[in-house]
Amino acid sequence: MILVGENINIMSKTIGAAIRNRDAATIQQLARQQAGAGMDYLDLNIGPARRDGPELMEWIVKTVQEVVELPLSLDTTNPDAMEAGLKVHRGKAIINSISLQPERLERMLPLAKQYGAAVVGLLWGTEGMPRDADDRAALCVELVQRVMDAGVPPEDILIDPIVTPVSADIGQVIAVVEFMSAFKDLAPGCKSIVGLSNVSNGTPTELRPHLNRAYLAMLMKYGLDAAIVNAFDEELVKLARGEMPEILNLVHRIMDGERFDVNELPEKERIYAKTTLVLMGKVVYSHSWLEA
Amino acid sequence: MPLSGIEIFKLLPKKNCGECGVPTCLAFAMNLAQGKAELDACPYISDEAREKLAEVAAPPIREVVIGSDGRVVKVGGETVLFRHEKTFVNPPGIAMLISDTMDDSEIDARIDRINSMVYDRAGFILRPEIAALRCDSGSKERFTDVVGRIISSSDCSIMLISYDPSIQCAALEVCKAKRPLIYAATSENIDEMMELAKEYACPLAVKGNGLSEVARLTSTAIQAGLKDLLIDTGARSLKEAFVHHIMLRRGALIGKIRELGFPTVVMACEMSDDLLMQTLIGAIFIAKYGGIIVLSDFQGHSLYPLLLARMNIYTDPRKPLAVEEGIYEIGKPTEESPVLLTCNFSLTYFLVSTEIENSRVPSWLLVKDTEGLSVMTAWAGGKFTADVIAPFIKKCGIESRVKHRKLIIPGYLAPESGALEEELGGEWEILVGPREAANIPAYLRTVWQAA
Ligand code: B12
Ligand code: SF4
């Protein structure tokens, strides 16, 4: 699986400040640490960056690639910033992201072919958030067609079904899994990607890794190809690298409807089992789901 | 639970040959899921898939349309027991009873109420749809006269109430173009009523005493080739009617009992004499599976809450609701009043506008179209940033309504304040409001007054 480190993100207080102050040392240190944690790509989220986008993106791409060999995922809605980043990027970049919204297609999509970059296709429709797995399927087919028409080969298309917080609407969490179950047939040759940490947004910080990991294990059942993740969650990285087959097996059996007496399982298995049940919508989410 | 398009898709041959009339198997699956296609259109379906897909061939609850133009009502077509499983689809129709023994002035007053009770709630138009005309006079002439009177003075849809087929026939002759609902076929008159429903191609309600009699009636009608049916189980106590509605919905969705898979008629007007009680009953059946709800009258205070309850229950919980972009006046603002900015996610709009009302400071609220996204979500998506807010402020017309140039922005937009001031050419002073709407009243009363 392709792992994309999410940690360089303008929304974080300290990193946000470092980006705004063009504090290269802080950014570079974080880049090195993520590379050391085994990431394949680093995501550079500079936000909408409406005012200084191009200059900022160019700066941050250069700054990061000065110290790490890794290719980057350029994360902004600003097409000028995107292009500025692609111009100076070394290797095969990821454009993160486009969607069927005309303003994002028209300016961003041509950049993929022009710069030979891969592209994240967000399943966000012209009418907004997809409501369920079916909406996602329809959007996916349309978006893949549009991107291929623009000359991007399927293996460079990363479809993002939009992960949303477990505490907001469990139906959406389930819908992503259902969508993934048909993905290989819906978009042959294309890849799938998720912004994994979204699933645990709004939950207590110390518990977030449990949700992220279990959800990753669930999505791996259907061959998830890539994930944008917290680079510093070691267990998550091991899981993604296939080093925890027994856990994957457990989660997938639960998804297939097998029943376990979860409280009888050893500690680690118990956590995965309980969390999987929450993410499947079998148990209602509350901050104390692990204690019940 | 009905199968989703994705589940159906997995069972299809995936040849994408287009012989079913749409270009891909996925498109065909989506149409099947929405009841817009017939399974047999694909020649390549395996027997195993066919078996699994049998249930999607017939939607579990028939969708029935009453009316032909004007206030058309579509009921039924529901696929879930609970709204949060997916969404409820077709809101119940709300009807006012009009008897042909009422005198003409009363009838006119009632038609007037049906026509004029229209409410605009944050961009949504709420109004009742149906006049339920009951023949109490026993006179064909009188009844057809009243029917004619109504169709010439209202665009509402019509429900005809009479157990006498000859009276129904006369009335249908007058209003057949409106595709009225015929109420009702019973064990006594079902043959004649079915003839009428066929001849005039109108939906037919069957009324029985309890679920088994109703199921016998719908079964007869289905065999006769009728599809657009509604059900009245005859229950006139709240408890019994409630139980029947639950059993009908469960029977149709879980038991897959075709005879029960039709929308209902709730005769709230026959369940109580008290309009308030009827309204309460109406609200219960808005939440639990009513199809057409007939009330003895409409008064603003009885109808509006029902319409609002209906809107809330039948909004799609999977979609953020949006209000329209524009300037909203709260209280009676003047050219000195404060100007506040928010996004067009309904929830945000309601929270913010309610708090401004609570402050009792008349205000202008500018609502920017953010595609129904909340403040921070919209900001993160680039839809609520200085460069899109500034042109909106310029062109929305607020500059001709107020003399001052002070704009209060949501606390969460604080990072945009500098850029916004710049984008507006320094003409506006940007005041950063509180983060939470709950603190708006205190803010308007203290900080704003001081500014
Ligand atoms: C549900 C949700 C979504 C839903 C959207 C639903 C919707 N209708 O907006 C979905 C899943 C679609 C979504 C998507 C995204 N989201 Co989101 N989302 C949320 C979440 C969990 C709740 C939002 C909500 O409904 N709030 C409730 C409403 C009522 O709040 P509100 O609009 O802010 O209004 C309040 C105040 O602002 C104030 N107020 C409002 N107007 C005014 C006006 C004045 C004058 C004043 C004084 C006050 C005031 O009063 C209100 C009540 O107190 C938040 C987390 C959070 N804590 O907010 C993240 C959040 C907003 N999302 C976030 C992000 C990053 C995104 C995405 C960019 C993710 C991605 N990478 O794709 C996308 C963007 C979509 C796009 N392409 O445009 C981040 C934003 C971070 C930031 N600061 O920039 C948040 C904060 C989560 C996080 N912690 O990371 N999201
Ligand atoms: S006819 Fe059948 S196989 Fe051919 S596209 Fe339609 S659903 Fe697919």
User: Are A78 and B382 within 8 A, CB to CB?
Assistant: yes
Residue B123 burial (C-beta neighbours within 10 Å; 0-12, 13-18, 19+)? middle
Produce one character per residue of B186-197: b if its CB has 16 or more CB atoms within 10 Å, e if not: beebbeebbebb
Q: How far apart are CA A80 and CA B324, in angstroms?
A: 30
CB contacts < 8 A (A, B): 73
- Which pLDDT band, with edges at 50, 70 and 90, does A198 fall under? very high
Helix/strand/coil for B434: coil
Q: Report the complex ipTM.
A: 0.65
User: Are B320 and A179 within 8 A, CB to CB?
Assistant: no
**Residue A173: closest C-alpha in chain B:** B318
CA distances from A30 to A27, A116, B84, B264 (A): 5, 27, 42, 63
The beta strand positions in chain A, using DSSP E, are 2-9, 41-45, 72-75, 94-98, 118-122, 157-160, 191-195, 226-229
CA distances from B204 to B178, B193, B214 (A): 14, 8, 13
User: Are A169 and B318 within 8 A, CB to CB?
Assistant: yes
The beta strand positions in B169-226, using DSSP E, are 181-185, 204-207
Mutant choice from B6, B7, B84 vs A, greatest count of A C-beta within 10 A: B6
Cβ contact B47:A207 at 8 Å: no
Three-class HEC string of B21-68 = CCCCHHHHHHHHHCCCCCHHHCCCCCHHHHHHHHHHHCCCCCEEEECC
Q: Residue holding tokens 């029985």?
A: B208
Q: Which of B26, B381, B419 sits opposite A137 (nearest CB)?
A: B26
Chain B closest-CA separation from residue A104 CA (Å): 11
- Residue B448: what pLDDT? 87
Q: How far is CA B345 from the centre of its chain?
A: 19
For B175-228, how does the pLDDT look when each residue is reduced to its tens digit (9 = 90+)?
999 999 999 999 999 999 999 999 999 999 999 999 999 999 999 999 999 999
Longest dimension (CA), chain B: 80
- Ligand nearest the Cα of residue B22 is 2
User: Are B320 and A128 within 8 A, CB to CB?
Assistant: yes
Identify the bridge partners of residue A41 per DSSP, sorted by sequence position. Answer: A4
Q: How far apart are CA A46 and CA A44, in angstroms?
A: 6
Give the residue from A109, A104, A189, A187 showing the smallest Cα distance to A152: A109
Alpha helices in B231-274 (DSSP H): 238-253
For A126-153, how does the pLDDT look when each residue is reduced to its tens digit (9 = 90+)?
777 888 899 999 999 999 999 999 999 9
Helix/strand/coil for A48: coil
Q: Which of A48, A131, A134 sits opposite B6 (nearest CB)?
A: A134
Q: How far apart are CA B363 and CA B120, in angstroms?
A: 20
Q: Residue A292 pLDDT more than 90?
A: no
What is the number of other CB atoms lying within 10 angstroms of the CB of residue A185?
Answer: 15
Mutant choice from A186, A198, A222, A285 vs B, greatest count of B C-beta within 10 A: A186
Chain B closest-CA separation from residue A133 CA (Å): 7
What is the number of other CB atoms lying within 10 angstroms of the CB of residue A41?
Answer: 22
Q: How far apart are CA B233 and CA A73, in angstroms?
A: 62
For A48-59, how does the pLDDT look when each residue is reduced to its tens digit (9 = 90+)?
877 789 999 999
Composition of chain B by helix, strand, coil, percent to 5: 45, 15, 35
Q: For the CA atoms of chain A, what is the radius of gyration? A: 19
What is the number of other CB atoms lying within 10 angstroms of the CB of residue B129?
Answer: 22
Q: How far is the CA of B239 from the centre of ligand 1 (A)?
A: 42
- Residue A201: what pLDDT? 86
Residues of chain B with pLDDT under 50: none
Q: How far apart are CA A8 and CA A96, in angstroms?
A: 14
User: Are A178 and B6 within 8 A, CB to CB?
Assistant: yes
- Ligand nearest the Cα of residue B408 is 1
What are the phi and psi torsion angles at B306 (to 5°)? -65, -45
Give the residue from A7, A84, A82 showing the smallest Cα distance to A43: A7
Chain A closest-CA separation from residue B371 CA (Å): 7
User: Are A172 and B318 within 8 A, CB to CB?
Assistant: yes
Ligand 2 atom with the smallest distance to the CA of B19 is 1
- Residue B30: what pLDDT? 86
Lowest mean pLDDT among A167-171, A214-218, B54-58, B141-145: B54-58
**Residue B33: closest C-alpha in chain A:** A134
User: Are A131 and B382 within 8 A, CB to CB?
Assistant: no
What tokens appear for A13 in the block? 């207080």
Stretch A254-281: mean pLDDT, rounded?
A: 94
What tokens appear for B188 in the block? 């006594």
Chain A closest-CA separation from residue B254 CA (Å): 19
Pairing of strands B339-343, A191-195: unpaired
Pairing of strands B157-161, B181-185: parallel
User: Are B6 and A181 within 8 A, CB to CB?
Assistant: yes
What tokens appear for A185 in the block? 């047939």
Q: Which of B6, B380, B387 sits opposite A133 (nearest CB)?
A: B6
Give the residue from A95, A91, A155 showing the smallest Cα distance to A122: A95
Q: What is the pTM of this model?
A: 0.64
**Residue A124: closest C-alpha in chain B:** B381
Q: How far apart are CA A281 and CA B240, in angstroms?
A: 33
Q: Find out whether the beta carbon of B434 lies less than 6 Å from any atom of ligand 1.
A: yes
Interacting residues of B23 by C-beta distance below 8 A, sequence separation 6+:
B16
**From atom 9 of ligand 1, which residue's Cα is the shortest distance away?**
B373
What is the number of other CB atoms lying within 10 angstroms of the CB of residue A275?
Answer: 28
Residue B75 burial (C-beta neighbours within 10 Å; 0-12, 13-18, 19+)? buried
- Which pLDDT band, with edges at 50, 70 and 90, does A63 fall under? very high
